[in-house]
């Protein structure tokens, strides 16, 4: 029997492509180790995100390719993940690999809920995650993450993110008195964002999720001019008025040279828990059609379900992933995985460039 060689295994792995990145695993430096013991071959694959949406397909393709080598009887896979990203020019963000903004063309579409789902879902997958609540007019992240009334600590004149659910969180909602209205003009908004970017010790993060205010105002502009972002996620509901505003948001990000990672359709449909009837209260499928029209990815549809509201109001977003109905959990997981996949694609195809400073 001809001995199996490492080179033979590597050659076979060159035929296996990452389904999203469309390059082979060897070229992408995703093969970290090959161990051979007789007819048993063990392959260590390093994914570009722990929330990889196509891990099962990669497993099947690797097993098929390696089993084609004469003498191979068993193929074992070992997994790890290393999120890739571009360096940030601001010193306090130097350890942040990817900054992902979550925006919406109008309010009331569940943008903060989707930002929370994304942060918690990535953390549950094993990534290191921060969540910046930049919705200065209506900060709801403290409620949704259960940190209302918690004050951030200060160390060496730097604010430390508040830890909850394994996520580092900062919000204007924890820096002002409860129920105090935020009446702000452009320069004041810029000052608050400067503080969040330069005076918060974010540390080492795979993803920093930024919950933007709705609309196309000062905050997205200031953020785009201050730091290079990996991309933006647009949240909308299916009705025409929301889709029109979502299109405007996409155009805004394009004008700011921020990649649009995709669109999420929230409140997509309602499934009656008693009879199983599906009711598309706000229409359905409009976001997918808009994504195709605008040539951006469709990241998924999130159903309208009471569990998302209950767990959000209770500050227990973790339960969205463990105690919501199966079809809700699956929809949320798909959205998180697809977004993580789009981040990986973006980092491969278009590394972040320099940003315009507005110091």
Could you state, in order of their start, the residue ranges of all structural domains in the chain? 6-81, 91-349
Token pair for 303: 């159903």
pLDDT of residue 316: 96
- Give the closest residue to 223 by CA, choosing from 208, 212, 236, 237: 212
174-178, 243-247, 274-278: least confidently modelled range = 174-178
270 vs 118: which has the higher pLDDT: 118
Pairing of strands 231-236, 260-265: parallel
With cut-offs at 50, 70 and 90, classify the pLDDT of residue 90.
confident
* Residue length of the chain: 359
DSSP 53: T
At how many degrees (to 10) do helices 218-226 and 186-198 cross?
A: 40
Residue 179 has pLDDT above 60, yes or no: no
CATH topology identical between 6-81 and 91-349? no
Global pTM? Answer: 0.90
CATH hierarchy code of domain 6-81:
3.30.300.130
* Over residues 308-315, mean pLDDT: 94
9-18, 19-28, 129-138: least confidently modelled range = 129-138
With cut-offs at 50, 70 and 90, classify the pLDDT of residue 180.
low
What φ, ψ does residue 24 adopt, rounded to 5°?
-75, 160
With cut-offs at 50, 70 and 90, classify the pLDDT of residue 346.
very high
Residue 355 has pLDDT above 50, yes or no: no
Whole-angstrom Cα distance, residue 114 to residue 232? 12
Total Cβ atoms within 10 A of residue 326: 7
Which H or E element spans position 355?
Answer: none
Residue 71 has pLDDT above 60, yes or no: yes
pLDDT in tens, 113-143: 999 999 999 999 999 999 999 887 778 999 9
Which residues on adjacent β-strands are paired with residue 130?
168, 208
CATH hierarchy code of domain 91-349:
3.40.50.300
């Amino acid at each position: 029997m001809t001995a199996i060689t490492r080179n033979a295994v590597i050659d076979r792995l060159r035929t296996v492509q990452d389904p999203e990145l469309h390059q082979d695993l060897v070229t992408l430096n995703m093969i970290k180790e090959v161990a051979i013991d007789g007819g048993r071959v063990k392959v260590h694959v390093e994914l570009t995100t722990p929330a990889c949406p196509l891990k099962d397909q990669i497993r099947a393709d690797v097993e098929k390719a390696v089993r084609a080598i004469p003498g191979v009887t068993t193929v074992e896979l070992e997994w790890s993940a290393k999120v890739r990203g571009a360096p940030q020019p601001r010193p306090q963000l130097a350890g942040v690999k990817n900054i992902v903004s979550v925006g919406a063309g109008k309010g009331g579409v569940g943008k903060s809920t989707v930002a929370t789902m994304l942060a918690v879902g990535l953390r549950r997958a094993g990534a290191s995650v921060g969540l910046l609540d930049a919705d200065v007019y209506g900060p709801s992240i403290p409620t949704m993450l259960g940190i209302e009334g918690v004050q951030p600590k200060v160390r060496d004149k730097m604010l430390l993110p508040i830890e909850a659910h394994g996520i580092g969180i900062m919000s204007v909602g924890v820096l002002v008195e409860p129920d105090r209205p935020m009446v702000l003009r452009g320069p004041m908004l810029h000052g608050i964002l400067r503080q969040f970017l330069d005076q918060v010790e974010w540390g080492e993060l795979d993803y920093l999720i930024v919950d933007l205010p709705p609309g196309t105002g000062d905050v997205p502009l200031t953020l785009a001019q201050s730091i290079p972002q990996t991309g933006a996620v647009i949240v909308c509901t299916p009705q025409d008025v929301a889709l029109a505003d979502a299109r405007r948001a996409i155009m805004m990000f394009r004008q700011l040279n921020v990649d649009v990672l995709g669109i999420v359709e929230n409140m997509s449909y309602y499934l009656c828990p008693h009879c199983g009837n599906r009711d598309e209260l706000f229409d359905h499928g409009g976001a997918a059609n808009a994504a195709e029209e605008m040539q951006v990815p469709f990241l998924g549809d999130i159903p309208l379900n009471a569990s998302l509201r209950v767990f959000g109001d209770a500050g227990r977003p973790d339960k969205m992933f463990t105690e919501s109905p199966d079809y809700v959990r699956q929809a949320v997981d798909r959205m998180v995985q697809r977004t993580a996949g789009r981040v990986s694609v973006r980092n491969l195809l278009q590394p972040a460039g320099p940003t315009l400073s507005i110091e």
